[in-house]
Structure 1
Amino acid sequence: MGGAVVDDAPPGVKAPDGGWGWAVLAGCFVITGFSYAFPKAVSVFFKELIHEFHVGYSDTAWISSILLAMLYGTGPLCSVMVNKFGCRPVMMVGGLFAALGMILASFATSIMHIYICGGVITGLGLALNFQPSLIMLNRYFSEKRPLANGLAAAGSPVALCCLSPLGQVLQYHYGWRGGFLILGGMLLNCCACGALMRPLLPPKKTPALEDSAAEDKPKPKKKLLDFSVFKDRGFVVYTVAASVMVLGLFVPPVFVVNYAKGLGNEDTKSALLLTILGFVDMFARPASGLIAGTKWMRPRSIYLFSFAMLFNGCTDLVGSQADNYPGLVVFCIFFGMSYGMVGALQFEVLMAIVGTDKFSSAIGLVLLMEAIAVLVGPPGAGLLLDRTKQYMYVFLLAGCEVTLSALIMALGSFFCIKKQQKNPGGGEEMAMSAVEKEGLQNGAGEHVENGDAAADPGGEEEPRGRENGTCSAE
């Protein structure tokens, strides 16, 4: 098969915005849930692992860190695999890897064995599922894509609310080895989700089109990893802002329970804060997707994303002053709202910036950059806590980082748009970014299928990537 891309949307095929796309959305919902919730769910087994292998808590915490590092750091590898083999086979192989890793980890004789099997192998399997599922979601939805992204992102809090209690039940009845084995079996569902990723089919050719098919130029071979996305200033701004954001975004959920314990609250009462956060997050994501898909808001999705980051950062800054349990409850409610908004919008905005053709490469490169921040953020906050012994400074640091990312995103996106562009007639007209163009087209329902370009006598179909011309380095 060589480097053929088996599931790219063929010319003339419009995103169905429904139909089989809802099955793709269901698969993406499950995959997103496993990918983000699984690294946190395995933490319920840490006490038994500490007792079994005579290691410290920091040693077992590396399991979750390795899972997340593989999920983010293997982004370019996933992009290459998808561009070479297509989404469906990559996801099904990834499901096998994810399940195999946990099954092998159930027979571990050392903590290093779990690092390799439960961390590296399972993490790679989840990565090979997560990224392709988002790519397929982008191909099946256009007008309803913000809502689809919001619904898919809701899989993360839903899965976390289910997997963590399930892990505790499995540990109680079967121990950590039996729990790992059962969880490994559950991860085989990733293969079923991969099977749902059916490639879009080209329209049936009429006899006239079949006669002229021989005259068509051969389709250029697609790059396995397209670095040309870095020529797009909008993509560069997004990547920098997202990397800064991730430094602080995941810090509060990691430390809020211990923050409450430090104020003298019981363990169960403190753990309830994460439940509150997850419950609000669960509804905030689809609601944010619904708002982002409105006719007025979609052209401004970048600025809505910037607001979500600013909202999250300010919530951290204000929450750092909480000195009692009710104050932390209020913090978790607002943090869940802002966290859900960020989760629902982050990939929607990236899709709108780079377009469908380059999204598979763009998401891989973005995740690689974010992997560095994921590894640095929480440990850096932990180091600050060790030095100061005050959770207030940890939340202040996280809030400043996320607020800075919001400013980078809003100001960078604003200034990367060329305000005025001379038209052939010598006049001037406002130029819009790719996000604004796509939003106006989708909001007004003025989609033009690729195959309709021939209807313009003097026109010629323009590649999707050219949408970003007003925001690129050209």
Structure 2
Amino acid sequence: MAPGAKHSAVAAPDGGWGWMIVAGCFITTICTRAVTRCISIFFVEFHMHFSSEYSRTAWIHSLVDCTTMLCAPLGSYIGNRLSCRVAVMVGGLLSSVGLILSSFASSLEYLYLSLGILTGVGFALCYTPAVAMVGTYFSERKALAYGIAMSGSGIGTFVLAPVVQLLIEHYSWRGALLILGGVVSHLCVCGALMRPLDSHCFPIKTEAPGENKEKEGCFFLSATEEYSFLLIPDFLLLSVSFLFLAFGCSVPFVYLVSYSLSIGVSHQQAALLMSVLGVMGIVGNITFGWISDRQCLRAYRRVSYLLAVGLEGLGCLFVPLLRSFSLLVPFSLFYGYFDGAYVALLPVVTSDIVGPTHLSSALGVVCFLHAVPYLISPPIAGWLVDQTGSYTAAFLLCGFSLICSALILATVTLARRCSKGSSPSLLPRIKPSRS
């Protein structure tokens, strides 16, 4: 490349090495999101071993989720400035070390730092760049590609939930965390697959002499351009919806196991419920992704997304009425399916609004918006359990939060469609002037 030359944009191939990127993202979601979900299986073990309250123990899971989302823009920044490959490999190393150190924990505060902060930062560096890479390689089949890639969360939960429970029974929670640290180290291999398509994830170029001096005065302008999508009204409204979504979506994954145990379900059956959540997430990921890619439905991806979130919240409202394993299985089927659906459509809807150029930075912001709700919702739900002695209030809060998220987006979407439909009749017809 000649000095000072710019990278030319490359069209998304919708295949080829893109499927290896999907495979890398698939394993990344297993090692990040699925492992985070399976930390809820350790919830009872931590609660009993350290003789702590539910609200204090819940901070472990909250910190993992919060740190992952809070540091997501850092992952986007490293991916954009260096490469997605570097971001994922460094993140894999940090998260693996965090899990291994957690196996030697002597207090909850130790776990807050090792499992909550260190592992969370590692997950943050991996997740956003890997997800963004899929968007650069696919255009026409983007929803399907994301459906397959994001199904790693469901498949990982399905496989890891019973495996983690067996590991705890045979090697205690310390041995289980140690083994999980080895599993998560495979993120470094995933990072090696992240070959950049164009300058999107490898923007470093050869500079002409003296060009660097001019760039020091343009840093602010460059950053403003990179985050210009923050001024898009649709993205701002979507962000408000994300806040309510994030507040409600993590509670069932944290408390479903402990709620099941409180009504007499065995440990293995409780872990099986998490597996059911996972396998239905796979079905939701792929089916909604495939359906949303149909030519006649591409314009309704946002409607599909809000329906998935709304039905997910509706299912949570019925949990307090489910008092046996046989009744909790249908809930896991229902909730898992629509959870997988919204997870697959979230990056697609974001990409449709901001475009592929800003997708990595936008996903970083989206994850950042999830941080505070992820941090406070499980402890708040735990506080409600401690105060009321029941899980009813916690699941109702979760359900109403998800429904509010869907209603906000539905109201805005309906208002925009109505305004678009009525605007032509309100505007005068202007004939073009002839020269």
What TM-score comes out, normalization by structure 2 length?
0.83
Distance change in 2, residues 1:227/1:287 (3 Å): same
2:177 maps to what in 1? 180
Q: Write the distance in 1 (CA, Å) between the matches of 2:40 and 2:243.
A: 25
CA distance in 2, matches of 1:93, 1:398: 34
C-alpha contact 1:21 1:137 (8 A) present in aligned 2? yes
C-alpha distance in 2 between matches for 1:396 and 1:103: 36
Give distance in 2, aligned partners of 1:306 and 1:44: 29
Say if 1:423 and 1:199 are closer, same or farther in 2 by CA, change over 3 A: farther
Residues 187-336 of structure 1: pairs in structure 2 closer than 5 A: 187-201=184-198, 222-223=222-223, 226-336=226-336
How far apart in 2 are the matches of 1:358 and 1:276? 35
Q: Counterpart in 1 of 2:91?
A: 94
One-letter code aligned to 2:26: F
| Amino acid across the alignment from 2:296 | W
Aligned to 2:202: none
Separation in 2, partners of 1:311, 1:11: 43
Matching residue's letter, 1:188: S
Q: 1:107 to 1:308 in 2, by over 3 A?
A: closer
DSSP-derived class of the 2:301 partner: helix
CA distance in 2, matches of 1:382, 1:123: 21
Per-residue deviation at 1:175?
Answer: 4.4
Letter in 1 for 2:10: V
Structure 2 Cα separation of the partners of residues 266 and 179 of structure 1:
19
- Where 2:164 maps in the other structure, the secondary structure is helix
Provide the residue aligned with 1:134 in structure 2: 131
Q: Find the aligned partners of 2:329 and 2:44 in 1 and give their Cα distance.
A: 27
Shift of 1:169: 4.1
C-alpha distance after superposition, 1:422-461 (max 9, x if no partner): 9998379xxxxxxxxxxxxxxxxxxxxxxxxxxxxxxxxx
Residue 121 of structure 1, CA deviation: 1.6
Aligned 8 A contact 1:18 1:140 in 2: yes
Q: Matched residue pairs, number?
A: 406
> Is residue 147–residue 293 contact of structure 1 (8 Å, CA) maintained in 2?
yes
Quote the Cα distance in structure 2 between the aligned partners of 1:64 and 1:174: 21
Instruction: Tell me the CA shift for residue 55 of structure 1.
Output: 5.5
| 8 Å CA contact 1:225, 1:361 repeated in 2 | no
Pick closer, same or farther for the CA change 1:272–1:172 going to 2, 3 Å.
closer
- Residue 160 of structure 2: which of 156, 159, 163 is its match? 163
Give the corresponding residue for 1:85: 82
For the residues of structure 1 that align with 2:186 and 2:282, how far apart are their CA atoms? 22
Choose which of 52, 66, 70 in structure 2 pairs with 1:69.
66
Distance 1:261 1:427, change over 3 A: farther
CA distance in 2, matches of 1:113, 1:80: 29
Query: Secondary structure at the residue paired with 1:154?
Result: helix
Residue deviations 1:390-448 (CA, integer Å, cap 9, x gap): 434333322221111111112223435661479998379xxxxxxxxxxxxxxxxxxxx
Q: 2: CA distance between counterparts of 1:383 and 1:108? A: 24
Question: 133, 141, 145: which one pairs with 1:148?
Answer: 145
Give 5+ residue unaligned stretches, structure 1.
203-217, 429-474
**d(CA) in 2 for partners of 1:370 and 1:125?**
17
Q: Is residue 2:358 matched to residue 1:358?
A: yes
Aligned to 2:209: none
Q: Which residue identity does 1:187 align to in structure 2? A: V
In structure 2, distance between residues paired with 1:110 and 1:399: 33
User: In structure 2, how many angstroms separate the alpha carbons of the residues matched to 1:250 and 1:46?
Assistant: 14
Q: How far, CA to CA, are the matches of 2:386 and 2:431 in structure 1? A: 61
1:382 aligned residue: 382
Question: Contact between 2:59 and 2:379, CA under 8 Å: does it hold in 1?
Answer: no
TM-score in terms of structure 1 length = 0.76
After the TM superposition, which of the residue ranges 385-394 and 186-195 deviates more from structure 2? 385-394
**Identical amino acids, percent of aligned pairs:** 36
Specify whether residues 400 and 178 from structure 1 end up closer, same or farther in structure 2 by C-alpha distance, changes over 3 A only: closer
- SS of 1:223's equivalent in the other structure is helix
Whether the 8 Å CA contact 2:265–2:324 is kept in 1: the answer is no
Deviation readout 1:157-179 (Å, 9 max, x if unpaired): 21122223333444455444444
User: Which position in structure 1 is the counterpart of 2:347?
Assistant: 347
Shift of 1:145: 0.7
Change (3 A) 1:400 1:62: closer
Superposition CA RMSD, Å = 3.2
Pairwise CA distance, 1:378: 2.4
The answer for the alignment partner of 1:38 in structure 2 is 35
Is 1:114 the counterpart of 2:111 in the alignment? yes
